[in-house]
Structure 1
Amino acid sequence: MKFLASVMIAKLIDLIFIFSYQKGKETAGAINEFDSFHRRLKLLFYGIFLLTTTMASAQKITILDADTKMPIVNVVVYNDDRSITALSDFDGKCDLSKFEKHERITFKHLSYETYRSTKSQTIKRASRIFMTLQAEHLDEVVMSVSKWEQQKKDIPQKVVFIGAQDISFTAPQTSADLLEHSGQVFVQKSQLGGGSPMIRGFATNRLVLSVDGIRMNNAIFRGGNIQNIIAVDPFAIDKTEIIFGPGSVIYGSDAMGGVMNFYTKKPMFSETDGLAVSGNGQYRFSSANTENTFHFDVNLGKRKWAFLTSASYNNFGDLKMGGHGPVSYLRNEYVSTTNGEDIVSANPNAKKQVPTGYNQINIMQKVSFKPNNNWSYDLGMHYSETSDYSRYDRLIRPGKDDDKFRSAEWYYGPQKWFLGNLQIDKKGKGKFYDGLKITTAYQHFEESRHDRAFQDSDLFSTKEKVDAISSNIDFENKKIGNLRLYYGGEYIFNKVGSTGSVLNIESNALTNAASRYPDGSTWQTLAGYLHGEYKAKPNFTMLSGLRYSHVWIDADFDKTFYPFPFDDANLSTGALTGSVGFSWFPKADLQVTLNGSTGFRAPNIDDVGKIFDSEPGSVVVPNPDLVAEYAYNMELGIQKNFSDKVVFKAASFYTYLVDALVRRDFLFNGNSQIEYKGELSDVQAIQNAAKAYVYGFEFGLEAFFSDNLSMSSNLTLTEGIEEEEDGTDSPARHVAPTFGNLHIKWKNQRLKTDLFLNYNGEISFSNLATSEKSKDYMYAIDADGNPYSPSWYTLNVRTQYSVSNALKVNVGLENFTDQRYRSYSSGIVAPGANLIIGVGYNF
């Protein structure tokens, strides 16, 4: 437009010159005089025009979202007496030429926190303003419930949203810590390199973990604690949504207790024809394990193409526990190997948990192509790899007879994960849909286990690989009045590779041994679903859905090492699941939700084909005679808003589990004991041997005292019982103790501070699960000499200061009273006083 205007005015000068030339063409001198005057006039015009346009453009700024870097439309800009106002356009641009150079101006938007600055300061900052989304606007839209955008207020289930702003502020060490920081998910850790979430009495393979809508659950996800969640880079996450309760209608098998969906950052397109370059670099240090973390990501954007590259490197040392707590948690001694001989060495620092350190690398590459407003193509690639890392809870187990320790070595080999996925999105009016998503993905998993008994020369190893392919097609239909339909289908195929070996560390002789799973076994599922949202009234919304899933298992057993009484396991399991619920606003400030749903979990390769030592003196053997387990759930929720100053939330739930897959005593070829790794061990197997019920209450409170000061709190109470076939019952293993938090937050334009308390209740010996009572080496000892999990609390503070729009500094001090505590069912003791420093720079 500027160029066109300059050309038009130049042409006007030419016309004036021609007219003047016609008037004065009588003499050659007059012609030369007019020609010289014409050139000088055009040069003067161009100079003035360029100067004024440059000054005008220099006073234009761009207003962007601080997290997504996308332009913000309709930001109102005004001075103190509101005598001058301006408005940002579709590209987030706003003209400040009306304002005085040092005049204080305000940037205001309904969904964003108010920003204040002077005109001169704004222009000095590269003419860009970054505004932060208000907390109450972060969770208006969720995607995990239907795979399409839905208003959170219409969802009858409890959904917790963790946005980019919260992730940046809490600066979690791993994705497991990200969930734990929410205060509404309990996380168990067997070692530093891990984190196993528990939601409403369910854990591990009864929860679904997904990345960008793609299931990470594979055929060997086990009932014991898992650590796959650490493969997801917290620095690459844009937002996280956690569904509480069964999610089988959308996610199929395993979604019995909840779904955790991590949505990673997307490439950003350019708003102009030029190349847009942006990115950020971050560093994080924590004193409790001398962590050094480095991260960077770079985005290159054109109008139709965008590329995002992200990489992180973590180095964690041995973790130090706190100074005040049970003496039995101290690591006074550990096993070291010198010249091939295992000896028990004194630990010079009993608070240091030796060995627990490891390192990890995460890489993400994304490419997006958007040829027009209706079609988009997104290619994503994720890779994660750890070093070897010790399983700490196995290294502190006492040995037999006079041995202080059972194992000299027990460690996981590198955990590797690769995900490649392509998603095609189409918007617009189709015959049967308004939105279409086609997602295909390939994943590769690698893990291994290595253990050697104290003063034994044989190192036993098993190595597993899983190749998983999946394909999903999802439709959205918004054309049927007040009814929105979501429907689609899914196919998943897993192939498991598993090998075993024994290495003699003295002779270096390597021999074959039994594998953990049947090598070459497969697991696959085919499913279709229909989900509907009906807005009966503006204040009343109903959601309902059905899904049919079919699961096949094909496994052949190798009888070389064990005389299995069967040759194979061929299971074919069908399951119909459903849900129905409503969200009702009897008043504008009161919401009531009610939801009923079913979930299921079909047996996987880990259930039917595993052989391993579950605990000292016990071995788990395969059992091909299994059927799916089912969960039936009811949930009632209420939310009350008191004058936008206080928000109270509460939910109650009850889940009944039938044909529960649990580990119990078993007979192998009529024997209750067999020899495993040279030791006579009790035989166990996964069986449909129990029913269970879990119930509980969840409370939340938010209070806003002023624009700067607020408070929030969460409390979760859960109880669970497993009922055996013989009529006896025992506490459920994955029911977390009562836990909660309390946060007091203060913030202004540049500074955020959070003083908070985390709390866990006690689990007495009588309330410990049967499988936990035998692990007395992990627990404190009560007055009667029995193991139990004590209550604990930590006091913590974190702060974030924006030095500029580009530079942010995070400083935190966790557990500053230096408590020594071990979370329920965890092998590793939690960090003591922990100083955390983080620096982030955006460009």
Structure 2
Amino acid sequence: MRRIAFIITCLLSQLVFAQEITILDTDSREPVINVVVHNQDKSRIVLSDFDGKCDLSVFDRNERLEFVHLSYQYKKSTKAQILRRGSRVYLTLSPEQLDEVVMSVSKWEQQKKDIPQKVATIDARSVAFTNPQTAADLLQQSGQVFVQKSQLGGGSPMIRGFATNRLLLSVDGVRMNNAIFRGGNIQNVISIDPFSVRNTEVIFGPGSVIYGSDAIGGVMNFFTKPAQFSQKDSMSISGNSVYRFASANEEHTIHADFNFGKKKWAFLGSVSYSDFGDLRMGSHGPDSYLRNNFVLRRNDVDFLVPNANPKKQIPTGYEQINLMQKIRHKPNNNWNYDLSLYYSETSDFARYDRLIRPNTDGTGLRSAEWFYGPQKWFMSNVQITKKGRGKFYDGVKLTTAYQHFEESRNERAFQDPIRFTAREKVDALSVNLDFENKKIGNLRLYYGGEYVFNKVHSNGYQENISSGLIASAASRYPDGATWQTIAGYINSEFKSRPNFTYMAGLRYSHVWIDAVFDRTYFPFPFSAARLNNGALTGSLGFSWFPRADFQVTANGSTGFRAPNIDDIGKVFDSEPGSVVVPNPNLEPEYAYNVELGVHKNLKDKLVFNGAVFYTYLVDALVRRDFDFNGETEILYNGELSNVQAIQNAAKAYVYGFEFGLDAFLTQNLSLKSNLTLTKGIEEDDSGIDSAARHAAPTFGDLHLIWKDQRLKADLFLNYNGEIDFDDLALSERNKPFLYTEDDNGDPFSPSWYTLNFRSQYQISNALSTTLSLENITNQRYRPYSSGIASAGTNLILSVDYSF
């Protein structure tokens, strides 16, 4: 009898245990605490505990349950469906929440509502839905960052009139900018795998207090997915695999990641491979964008051949692989050890804008070849974090990283057998020590120090592709040059009242450059460049809630950019007929920025965001005509070229307005919109004004979104305004082949729009699929300053399986 009773007791306990479920955050997979679970008449209610667990045994098997939490979107399901799906429920954060936590502003968790600067966040859920091909597309599809492309394998963000080396890229808290980040368009952002991104935070405006040099226009911080510990005593195994196809460039992408977690150890591995074909443009737009002919080499002779399909941009395709490995160890609640390894490599890819340049008489093409060699990036990152009350801190974080960058440029003129190649490698070491102190009443302090060291390796050679003979040639940069910086900062957050928060910070940075020039190929009037510069930057702002549903923010900040090796030591052809030469006599450029923002929430049904900003840049490092040993023209790669150099020769004013709207029309239907207007003016030493090159045209989007538990659909419009000839930067006027002509025969960037649709359907907890149709009306357009026309009508299909 006792045995029977024991068996019955075990069966009942198993039944009860089997009805226990876990409620998790969709993005972080962390437990969600205090979720209210009730039936439709609320006669029975349970609450999730600290581990996100709750017992559903009080509910009938087919009873309809509702999951309610202040910070998460409302969800419904039956008890039977939940048990069939592995006893897990995933909740998604509500988009109208002001209590969102961000990391980028202080390197520690802060509530977004307390931050006076504008910060845009892009979470993993949004990335999975928008399904970007590259990290550059990830930024562009946010609707708040403008992206320029010179080729398919690229993407150069523009934020508030600044771009390239005036914006800072960061991956898991480590700066990606190196000593040869240039003022021209760069494509290093594509080295970041969008499949590995947990969330992205974009700081608008200077971020120099925390990030130092280069953070003038903004900071883009990519946080990758962490290895996940097991929530139970046994090992947990999870993973994800994706296949994606896009018709406009015949893309085939595969991705897989696997996570092995125990209580104190976790391992995450990720791999992505993409094969992109030549990109096809749309049918309705300027004929000047068509690729009517291209260069083909036969029997050691270059031929200009007609393109059978002028809408196909030949050559633009390339391949890319991304790898990531993470190891985490958490011996107790206070210590955390993270080792992260990242690797990215592309195949060769053509710089398309150089391949469509006409020759001097306009009868053919200037270049037969112009391509980047494999772009490689490796980073190892060790991070040690300690939480708990120390004498001077509540949290301390040590981050050490080593990065290796490789790139090359290869160009050959039409009917010329000589191919010129410049290869660059950069080794970068960095150490960051960051502290958090939140014990001083309503004051929280964040402080720390940073050291960064870069060494540049550069060489050049020329090859006769007919005979195979190789000879040395001038390098792009002084080989062996070094760039290093050491800095200390302090940032504070003071909550003077529950509805009023101040933030203020200071940073001092010191930068050294040491470069020795090889005068074999050019008779430089100097043999070395040694720069020794310091910079003090600061910020002061507040966040104020006059009412619970209305926020006002104001912020003043300064930013700086110290000259790097690209500024002082580069030799390259900047545009047809011009060559840039070194200039060792440079000083840092400084930016002074003010911004005012408002946020209004109308009963969680309508949310407005707005910001106005003004930035003044002095001692701007710009490319201007230069005198080289008394000569204004020199012979470079066989061509007599106008001499230019980077100089502290200008100041600039950039101002604008940013607007955002979220309207929650029903429980399932919402409307979302963004609009950005930017105006930029450069003034050189002679007092001549011109439009700033990196001030993007007016751009915006409008989304109508339907969402229920299984289906999410988005019908949206993207829009870019016109930049007429009078508002076109002088440097852009010198590249008319990138633009179309107005009625006067002058180049300008026309406005354009696209109508698009994307959808995501959750077939089961494990399986989902997305279907998108971009540029439905098949517009032919080329974003401002871009060298490649964007995709025509593009069908994108993907399948995602998780376990």
Question: What interval of TM-score do these two structures reach, taking the shorter chain for normalisation?
Answer: over 0.9
User: Structure 1 residues 811, 139: closer, same or farther in 2, change over 3 A?
Assistant: farther
Which residue does 1:784 correspond to in 2? 744
Question: What is the CA–CA distance in structure 1 between the aligned matches of 2:396 and 2:294, rounded to whole Å?
Answer: 57
Question: What is the CA–CA distance in structure 1 between the aligned matches of 2:550 and 2:233, rounded to whole Å?
Answer: 48
Indicate whether 1:476 and 2:436 are aligned.
Answer: yes
> What is the CA distance between 1:138 and its match in structure 2?
8.0
Indicate whether 1:558 and 2:518 are aligned.
Answer: yes
Query: Which one is further off, 73-82 or 340-349?
Result: 73-82
Query: Which one is further off, 623-632 or 52-61?
Result: 52-61
Which residue does 1:235 correspond to in 2? 195
Deviations 1:43-99 (A, max 9, x none): 434432332222222222222222222222222222222222222222222222222
What does residue range 287-326 of structure 1 map to in structure 2 within 5 Å? 287-326=247-286
Instruction: Classify the secondary structure of the residue corresponding to 1:250.
Output: helix
Question: What is the CA–CA distance in structure 2 between the aligned matches of 1:797 and 1:434, rounded to whole Å?
Answer: 47
Deviations 1:77-133 (A, max 9, x none): 222222222222222222222222222222222222222222222211122222222
Indicate whether 1:462 and 2:411 are aligned.
Answer: no
Question: What is the CA–CA distance in structure 2 between the aligned matches of 1:124 and 1:647, rounded to whole Å?
Answer: 37
Which residue does 1:389 correspond to in 2? 349
Instruction: Classify the secondary structure of the residue corresponding to 1:122.
Output: helix
Question: What is the CA–CA distance in structure 2 between the aligned matches of 1:758 and 1:281, rounded to whole Å?
Answer: 30
Indicate whether 1:107 and 2:31 are aligned.
Answer: no
Query: Which one is further off, 129-138 or 229-238?
Result: 129-138
Alignment match of 2:775 (pick from 815, 829, 832)? 815
1:267 touches 1:299 (CA, 8 Å); kept in 2? yes
Instruction: Classify the secondary structure of the residue corresponding to 1:137.
Output: coil
Indicate whether 1:208 and 2:156 are aligned.
Answer: no
Larger helix proportion, structure 1 or 2? 1
Indicate whether 1:409 and 2:386 are aligned.
Answer: no
One-letter amino acid of the structure 2 residue matched with residue 596 of structure 1: G
Which residue does 2:731 correspond to in 1? 771
Question: What is the CA–CA distance in structure 2 between the aligned matches of 1:88 and 1:756, rounded to whole Å?
Answer: 37
Query: Which one is further off, 186-195 or 726-735?
Result: 726-735
1:139 touches 1:161 (CA, 8 Å); kept in 2? no
One-letter amino acid of the structure 1 residue matched with residue 314 of structure 2: V
Instruction: Classify the secondary structure of the residue corresponding to 2:180.
Output: coil
Which residue does 1:607 correspond to in 2? 567
Indicate whether 1:633 and 2:593 are aligned.
Answer: yes
One-letter amino acid of the structure 1 residue matched with residue 531 of structure 2: L
Which residue does 2:663 correspond to in 1? 703
Instruction: Classify the secondary structure of the residue corresponding to 2:4.
Output: helix
Deviations 1:521-545 (A, max 9, x none): 0000000001111111111111111
Indicate whether 1:583 and 2:543 are aligned.
Answer: yes
Question: What is the CA–CA distance in structure 2 between the aligned matches of 1:240 and 1:252, rounded to whole Å?
Answer: 19
Which has more radius of gyration?
Answer: 1
Alignment match of 2:135 (pick from 170, 175, 180)? 175
One-letter amino acid of the structure 2 residue matched with residue 755 of structure 1: L
Instruction: Classify the secondary structure of the residue corresponding to 1:113.
Output: coil
Which residue does 2:32 correspond to in 1? 72
2:484 touches 2:513 (CA, 8 Å); kept in 1? yes
Question: What is the CA–CA distance in structure 2 between the aligned matches of 1:733 and 1:671, rounded to whole Å?
Answer: 27
1:813 touches 1:836 (CA, 8 Å); kept in 2? yes
Work out the percentage of aligned pairs sharing the same amino acid.
Answer: 68
What does residue range 559-574 of structure 1 map to in structure 2 within 5 Å? 559-574=519-534
One-letter amino acid of the structure 2 residue matched with residue 428 of structure 1: G
Indicate whether 1:622 and 2:582 are aligned.
Answer: yes
Alignment match of 1:93 (pick from 53, 67, 70)? 53
2:96 touches 2:604 (CA, 8 Å); kept in 1? no
Deviations 1:745-765 (A, max 9, x none): 111111111111111010001
Question: What is the CA–CA distance in structure 2 between the aligned matches of 1:244 and 1:395, rounded to whole Å?
Answer: 34
1:73 touches 1:89 (CA, 8 Å); kept in 2? yes
Deviations 1:773-813 (A, max 9, x none): 01111101111011000000011111111111111111111
Which residue does 1:378 correspond to in 2? 338
What does residue range 414-813 of structure 1 map to in structure 2 within 5 Å? 414-813=374-773
Question: What is the CA–CA distance in structure 2 between the aligned matches of 1:475 and 1:227, rounded to whole Å?
Answer: 33
One-letter amino acid of the structure 2 residue matched with residue 133 of structure 1: L
Which residue does 1:28 correspond to in 2? none
What does residue range 181-200 of structure 1 map to in structure 2 within 5 Å? 181-200=141-160
One-letter amino acid of the structure 1 residue matched with residue 574 of structure 2: S
Deviations 1:226-255 (A, max 9, x none): 000000000000000000001100000000
Indicate whether 1:252 and 2:212 are aligned.
Answer: yes
Question: What is the CA–CA distance in structure 2 between the aligned matches of 1:189 and 1:139, rounded to whole Å?
Answer: 35
Deviations 1:614-667 (A, max 9, x none): 011110000000111000111111122222221111111111111100001001
1:548 touches 1:575 (CA, 8 Å); kept in 2? yes
Question: What is the CA–CA distance in structure 2 between the aligned matches of 1:139 and 1:835, rounded to whole Å?
Answer: 37
Question: What is the CA–CA distance in structure 1 between the aligned matches of 2:648 and 2:632, rounded to whole Å?
Answer: 18
Which residue does 2:125 correspond to in 1? 165
One-letter amino acid of the structure 1 residue matched with residue 456 of structure 2: V
Alignment match of 1:52 (pick from 9, 12, 16)? 12
2:27 touches 2:123 (CA, 8 Å); kept in 1? no
Question: What is the CA–CA distance in structure 1 between the aligned matches of 2:209 and 2:127, rounded to whole Å?
Answer: 29
Question: What is the CA–CA distance in structure 2 between the aligned matches of 1:253 and 1:172, rounded to whole Å?
Answer: 29
Counting matched residue pairs gives: 803
Which residue does 2:87 correspond to in 1? 127
Question: What is the CA–CA distance in structure 1 between the aligned matches of 2:362 and 2:79, rounded to whole Å?
Answer: 77
One-letter amino acid of the structure 2 residue matched with residue 287 of structure 1: S
Question: What is the CA–CA distance in structure 1 between the aligned matches of 2:44 and 2:610, rounded to whole Å?
Answer: 46
Which residue does 1:140 correspond to in 2? 100
1:321 touches 1:351 (CA, 8 Å); kept in 2? yes
> What is the CA distance between 1:42 and its match in structure 2?
4.8
> What is the CA distance between 1:403 and its match in structure 2?
4.8
Question: What is the CA–CA distance in structure 1 between the aligned matches of 2:603 and 2:55, rounded to whole Å?
Answer: 36
Question: What is the CA–CA distance in structure 2 between the aligned matches of 1:125 and 1:702, rounded to whole Å?
Answer: 32
Instruction: Classify the secondary structure of the residue corresponding to 1:68.
Output: coil
> What is the CA distance between 1:264 and its match in structure 2?
0.3
1:208 touches 1:260 (CA, 8 Å); kept in 2? yes
TM-score, normalising length from structure 2?
A: 0.99
1:530 touches 1:547 (CA, 8 Å); kept in 2? yes
Question: What is the CA–CA distance in structure 2 between the aligned matches of 1:48 and 1:540, rounded to whole Å?
Answer: 60
2:96 touches 2:607 (CA, 8 Å); kept in 1? no
Query: Which one is further off, 589-598 or 465-474?
Result: 589-598
Question: What is the CA–CA distance in structure 2 between the aligned matches of 1:584 and 1:672, rounded to whole Å?
Answer: 56
Which residue does 1:350 correspond to in 2? 310
The alignment yields a C-alpha RMSD, in angstroms, of 1.1
- Unpaired runs of 5+ residues, structure 1, are 1-40
Instruction: Classify the secondary structure of the residue corresponding to 2:195.
Output: helix
Indicate whether 1:268 and 2:228 are aligned.
Answer: yes
Question: What is the CA–CA distance in structure 2 between the aligned matches of 1:138 and 1:283, rounded to whole Å?
Answer: 35
Question: What is the CA–CA distance in structure 2 between the aligned matches of 1:107 and 1:157, rounded to whole Å?
Answer: 34
> What is the CA distance between 1:707 and its match in structure 2?
1.1
2:572 touches 2:581 (CA, 8 Å); kept in 1? yes
1:129 touches 1:805 (CA, 8 Å); kept in 2? no
Which residue does 1:6 correspond to in 2? none
